[in-house]
Amino acid sequence: MAIPFVDLQAQQAQVVDEILPEIEAVLRRGNFILGDPVSQFEAEFAEYIGSDYAVGLDSGLSALKLALAALGIGPGDEVIVPVNTFIATAAAVSFLGARPVFVEMDEDTNNIDVTRIEAAINERTRAIMPVHLYGSPVDMDPVMAVANRYNLYVVEDAAQAHGAMYKGRRVGSIGHAGAFSFYPAKNLGAAGDAGALVTNDPDVAERVKGMRNVGQVERYIHSLPPYNHRMDTLHAVVLSAKLKRLDGWNASRDRLAGLYIENLPQGIITPQRIDYGTQVWHLFVVRAERRDDLRAALQTEGIGTGIHYPVPLHLQPYYADLGYQRGDFPVAEMVADEIVSLPMYAEMAESDVRLVCERLSEFVLTANPT
Ligand SMILES: *Cc1c(COP(=O)(O)O)cnc(C)c1O
């Protein structure tokens, strides 16, 4: 690829020399699971996010699931989830025996339409899961207001938004719990699967620590659901090294996003900056008619793209038995057919952003000759 969609090697190159001796130390000591580097990373990440507690886990999906489990959500409960998110948000609800209730997206922010949350609430509703999709903060004040009014929990899915700010606070720290993924391609990525839960609630933190480790409160006394969702020590070593660089990498993404916004042609619907916070541009997602032709044209030029996500959750085969139909979420359905994620990673050259914009201008001109 002349311009790949994402370039993980460029990021790894910056930390390899620093972390190799620590990785060797872990290999020699043999403290492979929940070793000291995990508690060290938990302290650093809690401080960075501005939460009292962070708990290191084996994935973002586990963080979402254990957050809901710690809040007591289970069979018979309903949880409100945006219809346009990665499957993991809703899967966490389903795995606990609860029911995800989908809410339409907002076309301008790509996030849950906060004005439609209230209509989805009934006597079974227990929680709302706003997703800071693509690294763009949800407008949290109205979400917290409706949650307070109906006595609901708020679990933030911040898996794409490490470091994003909402009115001066890091996302993940605003609701009752926040879930992060450290999947390698996320803004903060491990050397494999990892995740973390953050919270200010000491009971939630304690319960999640027990549940991640086969439900133990003391050794071989299993008082909580006995999951295995522990973080491996090697990931914590990598994450601590990268956390120091996260703000710099996010600033670089922001510069590149600014260049895209400035240089993309009319005819390509471009994400806008929000005025209530800062985005971290996990993905740079535009909309275009003839999206598939556009992707093919870029592919021919060696430019990688993605679609996040092509099928809204209400149309996923796994959720067929929830009873939703095509037409239930017209905004999400329309947007799913038009979105395309352009190359975006902190190390991307500014000249490459300009090149992608030029190719897109040519595509728009050819598609709409005047
Ligand atoms: C990546 C992601 C997750 C799940 O994270 P994993 O670590 O892959 O389990 C959840 N929600 C969203 C929005 C994500 O992008």
125-169 confidence digits (pLDDT tens)? 999 999 999 999 999 999 999 999 999 999 999 999 999 999 999
- Looking at the fold, whether 155 and 205 belong to one and the same domain comes out as yes
Q: What's the gap in Å between 181 CA and the centre of ligand 1? A: 5
Q: What is the pLDDT of residue 366?
A: 87
- Looking at the fold, whether 182 and 38 belong to one and the same domain comes out as yes
- Looking at the fold, whether 229 and 274 belong to one and the same domain comes out as no
Q: What's the gap in Å between 310 CA and the centre of ligand 1? A: 16
* Atom 14 (ligand 1) nearest CA: 159
Q: Is there an atom of ligand 1 within 6 Å of 136 CB?
A: no
- Looking at the fold, whether 79 and 155 belong to one and the same domain comes out as yes
Q: How many domains does the chain have?
A: 2
Average pLDDT over residues 31-37: 97
Using the 3D structure, point to which of 227, 243, 259 is the last residue of a domain: 243
- Looking at the fold, whether 178 and 111 belong to one and the same domain comes out as yes
Average pLDDT over residues 14-40: 97
Q: What is the pLDDT of residue 1?
A: 73
Q: What is the pLDDT of residue 146?
A: 98
Q: Is there an atom of ligand 1 within 6 Å of 156 CB?
A: no
Q: Is there an atom of ligand 1 within 6 Å of 180 CB?
A: no
Predicted confidence (pLDDT) at residue 175 exceeds the cutoff of 70: yes
Q: Is there an atom of ligand 1 within 6 Å of 157 CB?
A: yes
Q: Is there an atom of ligand 1 within 6 Å of 59 CB?
A: yes
Q: Is there an atom of ligand 1 within 6 Å of 189 CB?
A: no
- Looking at the fold, whether 224 and 266 belong to one and the same domain comes out as no
- Looking at the fold, whether 91 and 117 belong to one and the same domain comes out as yes
* Atom 10 (ligand 1) nearest CA: 88
Predicted confidence (pLDDT) at residue 368 exceeds the cutoff of 80: no
State the chain's mean pLDDT as an integer: 97
* Atom 5 (ligand 1) nearest CA: 60
pLDDT digits (tens, 9 = 90+) for 7-18: 999 999 999 999
Question: Is 252 a member of any domain?
Answer: yes
Q: CATH number for the domain including 178?
A: 3.40.640.10
Q: Which atom of ligand 1 is nearest to the CA of 186?
A: 1
- Give the chain as a 3 state SS string: CCECCCCHHHHHHHHHHHHHHHHHHHHHHCCCECCHHHHHHHHHHHHHHCCCEEEEECCHHHHHHHHHHHCCCCCCCEEEEECCCCHHHHHHHHHCCCEEEEECECCCCCCECHHHCHHHCCCCEEEECCECHHHCCCCHHHHHHHHHHHCCEEEEECCCCCCCEECCEECCCCCCEEEEECCCCCCCCCCCCCEEEEECCHHHHHHHHHHHECCEEECCEECCCCCECECEHHHHHHHHHHHHHHHHHHHHHHHHHHHHHHHCCCCCECCCCCCCEECCCCCEEEECCCHHHHHHHHHHCCECCECCCCCCHHHCHHHHHHCCCCCCCHHHHHHHCCEEEECCCCCCCHHHHHHHHHHHHHHHHHHCCC
Question: Is 3 a member of any domain?
Answer: no
Question: Is 149 a member of any domain?
Answer: yes
Average pLDDT over residues 24-31: 96
Q: What's the gap in Å between 195 CA and the centre of ligand 1? A: 9
**Residue-number span of the structural domain to which 358 is assigned:** 246-367
Predicted confidence (pLDDT) at residue 181 exceeds the cutoff of 80: yes
Using the 3D structure, point to which of 243, 269, 302 is the last residue of a domain: 243
Q: Is there an atom of ligand 1 within 6 Å of 131 CB?
A: yes
Predicted confidence (pLDDT) at residue 190 exceeds the cutoff of 70: yes
- Looking at the fold, whether 184 and 227 belong to one and the same domain comes out as yes
Q: Is there an atom of ligand 1 within 6 Å of 85 CB?
A: yes
Reported as a pLDDT band with limits 50, 70 and 90, residue 370 is: low
Average pLDDT over residues 290-304: 96
- Looking at the fold, whether 236 and 325 belong to one and the same domain comes out as no
Q: What is the pLDDT of residue 342?
A: 98
Q: Is there an atom of ligand 1 within 6 Å of 195 CB?
A: yes
Q: Is there an atom of ligand 1 within 6 Å of 159 CB?
A: yes
Q: What is the pLDDT of residue 155?
A: 98
Q: What's the gap in Å between 141 CA and the centre of ligand 1? A: 23
- Looking at the fold, whether 126 and 157 belong to one and the same domain comes out as yes
- Looking at the fold, whether 254 and 173 belong to one and the same domain comes out as no
pTM of the prediction? 0.97
